């Protein structure tokens, strides 16, 4: 039985890390908005060429183009057993269009990773990336950045430019404004669950797995009606 999963959560909630971990354990693809756009452009499909033209003009990719890219991606053979969407949908309009794509598939399981704002600010203020390979690293105290190296390539760690406190607070404000309606859209479904993301990663992973199984057991038939 296919597992089709959406991960919601604010910046710093750890949804990307948990999605990648869960996808590897279950053998299903983790599909992010950025990955989909890059692949669509690289493969040169009709919708990919449309997206490239839009991005080359410095414009945002429209909902209809993103939906076309999602449709192409989840129709691939590697997604037959399911998929994890990370960063999509971002709007209720996209969510409604996704429901249309899911009408003949197993229903979406939607997990919202919840973390208090104070903890998100702390995490994002201490988040660092590798200056060489760009991989995210575990939170590191500012005084220790020069002492720690990337575990993947040994590169020097630096703080992300968009992770200072004022920018972090603005990003969280935008998330609440734009993405909270998505939570409201999904929360009444039998396949919706929330997980406490303020715990250590291994506990979040444990609760995530349990929440997904509980949501699947609570499903009500195939597809979702708007």
| Active site members | 15, 90, 127, 160, 171
Q: Is beta strand 157-159 parallel, antiparallel or unpaired with respect to 128-130?
A: antiparallel
Q: What are phi and psi of 137, to 5 degrees?
A: -115, 165
Residue 67, token pair as written in the block? 């939906």
Residue 159, token pair as written in the block? 């703080």
- At residue 46, the 3 state secondary structure works out as helix
The per-residue b/e assignment along 105-135, b for 16 or more CB within 10 angstroms, e otherwise, is: bbbbbbbbbebeeeebbbbbbbbbbbeeeee
Give me the sign of the Cα torsion angle 114, 120, 122, 124.
positive
């Amino acid at each position: 039985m296919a597992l089709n999963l959406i991960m919601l959560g604010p910046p710093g909630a750890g949804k990307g890390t948990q999605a990648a971990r869960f996808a590897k354990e279950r053998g299903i693809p983790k599909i992010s908005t950025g990955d989909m756009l890059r692949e669509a452009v690289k493969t040169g499909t009709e919708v990919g060429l449309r997206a490239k033209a839009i991005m080359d003009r410095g414009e945002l990719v429209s909902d209809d183009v993103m939906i076309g890219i999602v449709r192409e991606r989840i129709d691939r053979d590697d997604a037959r057993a399911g998929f994890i969407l990370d960063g999509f949908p971002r709007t209720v309009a996209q969510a409604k269009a996704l429901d249309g794509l899911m009408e003949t598939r197993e229903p979406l399981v939607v997990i919202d990773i919840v973390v208090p704002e104070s903890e998100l600010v702390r995490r994002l203020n201490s988040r660092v990336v590798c200056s060489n390979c760009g991989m995210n690293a575990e939170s590191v105290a500012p005084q220790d950045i020069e002492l720690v190296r990337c575990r993947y390539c040994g590169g020097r760690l630096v703080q992300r430019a968009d992770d200072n406190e004022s920018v972090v607070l603005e990003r969280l404000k935008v998330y609440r404004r734009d993405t909270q309606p998505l939570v409201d859209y999904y929360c009444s479904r039998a396949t919706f669950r929330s997980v406490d993301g303020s715990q250590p990663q291994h506990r979040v992973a444990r609760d995530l797995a349990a929440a997904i199984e509980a949501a699947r057991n609570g499903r009500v038939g195939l597809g979702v009606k708007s």
